[in-house]
Structure 1
Amino acid sequence: MNFSSFSSSPSVVTEAQTVSCVKTFVLPDKCFDKRIGCAWRRGNQFGIYPRSQNVNKTTSDTAAKSNDKILNIRQNIVLFTPILRKLVNEANGTFLSLQKLVEISKSSDNQVEFLKLSRQYRSIIRVCIESLQEAAEKETDGLEKNTLLSYITIFYSIECIWHLCEILYIDIIPGEVVLPFLLEWVRFHFPCHEQTAAQLLEACERGSEDHPEYWDTVIGMVVQGRIDVVRSLLKLHSNADSNEFKLVDNSLRSMPVYNVYGGISTGEFTISWKHWQAECRSKLSSGLLAQNDQLELIMRLMTGDYSAFESIRAKYSSWYDILGGWVLFTAPWARRRELGAAGAACAGLGGAGGSRLDLTVRALLEGDLHQVIHEIQQISDNGWFASHLTDILYHSGKLQILEHQTDVTSHLRDSLILEYGSLLMEHKSLWSVGLSYLASCPPEGLKRAELLLERLPIDTEAKAMRVVAQAKKYGLVDVAQNVSAAMGARRLCAGGAGGVGAALAWGGRARCGPLCARAAHAALRAYCGARPLPAADLLLSAGAALLVDDTLLLLGKYCDFHRLYKNREFRKAAKLLISLITSNIAPEYFWPTLLLDTLPLLETDEPVLSADDTYEIMLCLELRSACLSTEKADLLRLALARNLARTALIDVED
């Protein structure tokens, strides 16, 4: 049977129709025209296969000749793209730092640290965007380049939303007057006309109004609250010395700017601001600017005229390009909770809207975090953004979905983290990262980790060692033992001295008696067949692990006997060998080896086996004489008699 796999992305599978957000795909092969079956595979995958109508009549020959295929349908995981691995790994480090911070300090007075961690997340996103941009510039394949550009759009939106969320919910803003931070957000993410303004100011030429984007740039700087830049650009106009330009410049220069450390209260600033705006309206109504539509538009914007903002809305791609300017010229003292009205006013200016970013920004300004999380879950980044942002909002105490319902917010955070961790567990190299996320949501996370970890495909010993180490790290002892036992059984089936030695090592790690017994028997039988003892160094340092099974204990002690004999410590070797003989733990096939090992000890220059030891060997020999050939048994009896005579003479002399 032929096997093929394909992604469920539109580039591979043809979409037939869409009904109520449920997609139907045409299977790209005629073998699926009649009857098909479906079976879930590991992770977010399932296989589709043709079902034979005559299952009982199918033979191996007909199956081999068929052209049937098994199709593997899998979810397209953006985070598994190689260029995004760095994002996953670095974000994991910041996530673990956040969990450690919360664990060490139970108090909620960690806002400064939360802000640092939030900025770490944003810097990671920025580095990711830069990497994607570099890769897109070098890419020559049109399809791949479009994919990279779509990733850039996704993570640009993520960084934009995170930055605004940081300003409104995580940052510590004195007096909660958010205007300076809001203007910074707009300037950073929507740098409209900034490059043109820099070019005009660098040229510093009178008559710059001839530039086709001159007035659009001036208006753009007004909307972004860059008053000094606006004044500098107006001075480049050929009529900058006229009364109209001086009138506008004077109004711009005298505009009050609120500073929490300026020594005046919000109320005093409000009075000063309203007085300045009244003067602007007076100048506007005087008709002095009627001859210059652009200067009149600037003055109307400064007075917060809604129709003026409405007239320039079409020049911008989104309503939040002018959000900072609207707040600046209508309510510069606005607190965080008062931004909802500003968002609604700007969103109602007209133009295209309703995108995911639009809806999320509106929800953030209105303080509806439930809607924010709902919207960011729809972003096709496979849950990276939703899980990390929700986690930091939850731990900073700002995630209040329902009042006085802490369980709801806790369950929301845990569900997103568990989903994200389970997704990473599907990847062949990111599974350990996913495990750390699951472990941060006890007890359900550890239960899920146990189920997923046991089902990881293990193709190398190195990966098995990693799985065992990670399982022990998070207290999943059963998983470590099961994996070790499975690897030991696999190596034992492979055979050979290396396989038996590795099986002994895995059996010791698993503390699995049956596996250790099988491996030990295999090692002893191999030794009886004139092959060397496997894993001798391992057995000499096994310690208490030898007590798992009697046969393993025998093997370990027998290796110790060989070490003592090789080091010419004959008395210790003889004592150990006698203990093995008298313990009766040796299997029947190994008794000939144990008995014959006494021969060189019986023939040493000085006796190392006492009369009692000799009698023990004689007793065992008579009881198991059938295991030795007549020649070997007679040879051993002769050596025993001679040693008994030597030990008797020593006793008489003493």
Structure 2
Amino acid sequence: MASSSTSAFEILRSTRQLPVVEKELIFGKRSTEAAAARSTAGAAWGKTARKWVAASSSTSALEFGDVMPRELRTLVAASFDVFTRVQQTSQLGAFGVARASREYREALKTCIFALEDRLETQTINAEEEGEFLDLLKVSLAIWHLCELLLLRGGARGADKSLAYDLALWLQEHYCSTLLEKTENESERLKKQQKPEQDTAFWTTIQSLVMTGNGPSAWSLLATHSNYKSLFTRNTMSVTATSTKSTFQAVQKLLLTMPGRAEQDGVGWKNWNDACQYLLNTDGYVKANTGLTTLLEIMAAKEDVLKAHASSWYELMMARLFLDEPKTIAHRFEYLMANCFRAYNNDETSMGNFDCIILAIMQYDIQSALQDIIALGFSWMAAHLIDLLQKSNAIVADEVLPQADCTLRERFFLQYGMEIGASSSMWQFAVRYYEYCPQF
């Protein structure tokens, strides 16, 4: 874990990513035009993204920020309540940091949902608003991952649920479209008389397993005509009895598939051993290509997982769900890099978002912080740096020689300037300034 604050400061200085603090904006007033022209206050929370202040339809000069979108006003107010409680607690502890992080994240998520609802019925500035919405979603994903890996107390190798939590993180922030598509395909197949004759039958079941949804995979597999026909007979032959036994064994495995926090390492090993045993000994499985491949996926055979995943994050999610959770918890960064290389020439082709994710998984806080600041989302930079300091992940209370304030104060000031540019939000800005004694 990176812990040297000096080197972090040097990185931020050399890349010129420290915000420029303009004292006259804090203690004086300017018109809308002057403030917009000469300052970052009230400007976009990201490059070419949505402004704090909505464009006015009136030609009269309004106070800068009087028309701040209600979604952002709600975010400012909700996060301020969390912020003040955090500052008033001298020893926050791991539990307090985690609780504050979840509350910040919920406030941001509420803002995103509200903005999405409004954009569904709005056409004015839709493209600009959409860009800002994308920035918020990226920020939510990054914050959530920081909460899992950087703000979580204890050694990650000892936390057996962490691998599953990270898999669920991938579900939410990378694979939501894939999950929806797979579920829709499953519902379509269930309506067919003999769904196994559809080419999408086995691939859909495999996809459900790789995304950690064993019960849904069984729900579809149970519509197989060979299995359904077993319940229409008064008596069953030896072959039919064996077939039924095989399906029931697969059913049990799918319904007890790993992915729940309450399962421990012993439970995973027993489950994995059962998958291997059924794969290697059951005659019906060996004679059925679809079942064979399904059991190979459940047994986490690496070559089979690679062959059936379509992206690095789908492959990583499958391995997080299906590999041994305690073992994999020590090597998230290597797992991501290996999964990425399976679909790309090398790591240099990673996008900015993927680079931030990899840095967080590597516990490279300096690089992650540098890229997070570059997003230009001052709300996130200010509150995340505050929690990182309080969880002792970084040191942010040393005075920056070129700024006469600390790193933490620097981003409080930046955030305060941006929200303080709105006449209806200046009270919140002043309270953030109160936590900048060096300034």
TM-score of the aligned structures, taking structure 1 as reference length: 0.48
Q: Report sequence identity in percent.
A: 18
Deviations 1:66-120 (A, max 9, x none): xxxxxxx9986634144974454334344443443344332243x3333333222
2:279–2:285 contact (8 Å) kept in structure 1: no
- For 1:272, which of 233, 253, 270 is the aligned residue? 270
Shift, 1:229, TM fit: 1.2
Which residue is 1:348 aligned to? 341
Deviations 1:142-176 (A, max 9, x none): xx222232223222222222222222234569951
Which residue is 2:233 aligned to? none
Query: Any residues of structure 2 matched to 1:451-600 within 5 Å, and which?
Result: none
Relative to structure 1, the CA distance from residue 357 to residue 181 in structure 2 (aligned partners, 3 Å threshold; closer, same or farther) is: same
The alignment covers a number of residue pairs equal to 365
- For 2:166, which of 172, 179, 182 is the aligned residue? 182
1:325 aligns with 2:318: yes
Secondary structure of 1:441's partner? Answer: coil
Q: Distance between the aligned counterparts of 2:129 and 2:199, measured in 1? A: 33
1:223–1:324 contact (8 Å) kept in structure 2: yes
Relative to structure 1, the CA distance from residue 103 to residue 200 in structure 2 (aligned partners, 3 Å threshold; closer, same or farther) is: closer
Comparing 99-108 and 198-207, the one that deviates more: 198-207
- For 1:45, which of 24, 33, 37 is the aligned residue? 37
2:360–2:368 contact (8 Å) kept in structure 1: yes
Q: Distance between the aligned counterparts of 1:76 and 1:257, measured in 2? A: 43
Relative to structure 1, the CA distance from residue 413 to residue 338 in structure 2 (aligned partners, 3 Å threshold; closer, same or farther) is: farther
Which residue is 2:74 aligned to? 90
2:359–2:365 contact (8 Å) kept in structure 1: yes
Deviations 1:472-491 (A, max 9, x none): xxxxxxxxxxxxxxxxxxxx
1:258–1:269 contact (8 Å) kept in structure 2: no
Which residue is 1:492 aligned to? none
2:259–2:321 contact (8 Å) kept in structure 1: no
Deviations 1:399-443 (A, max 9, x none): 237xxx974899433332222223334445444433332322222
Secondary structure of 2:225's partner? Answer: coil
Deviations 1:284-313 (A, max 9, x none): 9x8954652x43332222222222222233
1:438 aligns with 2:395: no
- For 2:416, which of 404, 418, 421 is the aligned residue? 421
1:137 aligns with 2:120: yes
Which residue is 1:339 aligned to? 332
Q: Distance between the aligned counterparts of 1:270 and 1:199, measured in 2? A: 29
Relative to structure 1, the CA distance from residue 98 to residue 129 in structure 2 (aligned partners, 3 Å threshold; closer, same or farther) is: closer
Which residue is 1:250 aligned to? 249
Which residue is 1:123 aligned to? 106
Secondary structure of 2:358's partner? Answer: helix
1:375 aligns with 2:393: no
2:279–2:286 contact (8 Å) kept in structure 1: no
1:221–1:229 contact (8 Å) kept in structure 2: yes
Relative to structure 1, the CA distance from residue 259 to residue 385 in structure 2 (aligned partners, 3 Å threshold; closer, same or farther) is: closer
Q: Which one scores higher on RCO, CA 8 angstroms, separation ≥ 6?
A: 2
- For 1:78, which of 50, 58, 63 is the aligned residue? 50
Relative to structure 1, the CA distance from residue 252 to residue 349 in structure 2 (aligned partners, 3 Å threshold; closer, same or farther) is: farther
Which residue is 1:155 aligned to? 136
2:163–2:320 contact (8 Å) kept in structure 1: yes
- For 2:224, which of 217, 230, 237 is the aligned residue? 237
Q: Distance between the aligned counterparts of 2:281 and 2:406, measured in 1? A: 58
Deviations 1:5-56 (A, max 9, x none): xxxxxxxxxxxxxxxx9xxxxxxxxxxxxxxxxxxx9556359xxxxxxxxx
TM-score of the aligned structures, taking structure 2 as reference length: 0.68
Secondary structure of 2:120's partner? Answer: helix
Which residue is 1:194 aligned to? 180
AA matched with 1:350: Y
1:343–1:362 contact (8 Å) kept in structure 2: yes
Which residue is 1:309 aligned to? 305
Shift, 1:350, TM fit: 0.6
Larger radius of gyration: 1
Shift, 1:274, TM fit: 5.4
1:224–1:322 contact (8 Å) kept in structure 2: no
2:151–2:391 contact (8 Å) kept in structure 1: yes
Unmatched tracts of structure 2, length 5 or more: 1-14, 16-32, 55-66, 229-239
Secondary structure of 2:309's partner? Answer: helix
1:87–1:124 contact (8 Å) kept in structure 2: no
Shift, 1:187, TM fit: 3.2
Unmatched tracts of structure 1, length 5 or more: 1-20, 22-40, 48-72, 445-654
Q: Distance between the aligned counterparts of 1:330 and 1:420, measured in 2? A: 42
Q: Distance between the aligned counterparts of 2:51 and 2:329, measured in 1? A: 34
Shift, 1:385, TM fit: 2.0
Secondary structure of 1:78's partner? Answer: coil
Deviations 1:583-631 (A, max 9, x none): xxxxxxxxxxxxxxxxxxxxxxxxxxxxxxxxxxxxxxxxxxxxxxxxx
2:297–2:304 contact (8 Å) kept in structure 1: yes
Q: Distance between the aligned counterparts of 1:245 and 1:440, measured in 2? A: 68
Shift, 1:388, TM fit: 2.0
Relative to structure 1, the CA distance from residue 430 to residue 155 in structure 2 (aligned partners, 3 Å threshold; closer, same or farther) is: same
1:115–1:171 contact (8 Å) kept in structure 2: yes
Q: Distance between the aligned counterparts of 1:84 and 1:346, measured in 2? A: 42
Q: Distance between the aligned counterparts of 2:362 and 2:79, measured in 1? A: 27
What is the root-mean-square deviation in Å for CA atoms of aligned residues?
4.0
Secondary structure of 2:331's partner? Answer: helix
Which residue is 1:168 aligned to? 149
Q: Distance between the aligned counterparts of 2:278 and 2:355, measured in 1? A: 34
2:306–2:315 contact (8 Å) kept in structure 1: no
2:356–2:372 contact (8 Å) kept in structure 1: yes
Q: Distance between the aligned counterparts of 1:179 and 1:84, measured in 2? A: 40
Q: Distance between the aligned counterparts of 2:267 and 2:412, measured in 1? A: 45
